């Protein structure tokens, strides 16, 4: 247990210091991108929540829930390959994501909206914890979890060490647009 928490904390800290999005992708979203000193490969970047939400990639992204309307955007790395990655996930209002897991340990931060998140093999309203903006939670590798949005859409930033995937506990709940595994 301590080992997983240590990994989760390290992943969160590395997120803060290893963030390296594609400058062209960020410019498309309207973000201000400026080159930095030659010794740093990390560009200066400033993005509003609206700019982060812009140009989401849709439900085909690996490690996404595959639920209609849920979309992701890769900010750093490649979730389909071995290595550190950071993605944002946009979840529309009134969306339920059934119980599923990912092979890798992931740490997430609620950027905007109110996210209701729980752990278990089956969706259970009583197990949901309300997470307002600024909340942090973990998705331990292989641990089933589920979520729901209410009246507000939610934007979450997720960090992990790939490759990642998505497996629904009950195959009947796997969305037809589920990402490739």
Task: Dump the DSSP string for 13-69.
Answer: HHHHHH----HHHHHHTT-EEE---TT--PPEEE--HHHHHTT---TTSTTS---TT
Give pLDDT tens digits for 35-80: 555 555 556 767 777 777 675 666 557 778 889 889 888 888 889 9
Q: Is the dihedral of CA 89, 49, 131, 149 positive or negative?
A: negative
pLDDT tier at 31, thresholds 50, 70, 90: low
What mean pLDDT do residues 121-137 have? 97
Q: Is the pLDDT of residue 97 over 80?
A: yes
For residue 103, the model assigns a pLDDT of 96
What pLDDT is recorded for position 6?
Answer: 45
- What domains appear along the chain, each with residue ranges and CATH number? 2-173 (2.60.120.10)
Structure confidence at residue 133 (pLDDT) = 97
Residue 91: pLDDT above 90?
yes
The confidence score (pLDDT) of residue 17 equals: 38
Check: CB of residue 146 under 8 Å from CB of residue 98: yes
Number of continuous H segments (helices) and E segments (strands) in the chain: 3, 12
* pTM, two decimal places: 0.73
> Which among 114, 117, 121, 122 has a CA at the least distance from the CA of 93?
114
Confidence of residue 176 (pLDDT cuts 50, 70, 90): confident
Is the predicted pLDDT of residue 9 greater than 60, yes or no?
no
pLDDT, greater one: 54 or 91: 91
């Amino acid at each position: 247990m301590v080992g997983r928490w240590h990994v989760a904390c390290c992943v969160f800290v590395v997120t803060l210091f290893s963030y390296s999005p594609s400058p062209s992708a960020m410019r498309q979203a309207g973000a201000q991108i400026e080159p930095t000193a030659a010794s740093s490969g990390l560009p200066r970047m400033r993005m509003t929540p609206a700019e982060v939400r812009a140009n989401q990639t849709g439900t085909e992204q690996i490690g996404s829930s595959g639920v209609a309307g849920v979309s992701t955007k890769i900010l750093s790395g490649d979730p389909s390959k071995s290595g550190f990655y950071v993605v944002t996930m946009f979840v529309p209002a009134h969306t339920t994501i059934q119980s599923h897991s990912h092979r890798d340990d992931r740490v997430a931060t609620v950027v905007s909206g109110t996210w209701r998140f729980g752990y278990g093999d089956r969706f259970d309203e009583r197990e949901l914890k309300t997470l307002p903006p600024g909340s942090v939670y973990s998705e331990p590798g292989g641990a089933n979890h589920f979520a729901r949005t209410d009246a507000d859409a939610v934007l979450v930033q997720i960090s992990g060490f790939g490759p990642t995937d998505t497996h629904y506990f009950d195959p009947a709940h796997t969305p037809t647009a589920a990402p490739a595994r």
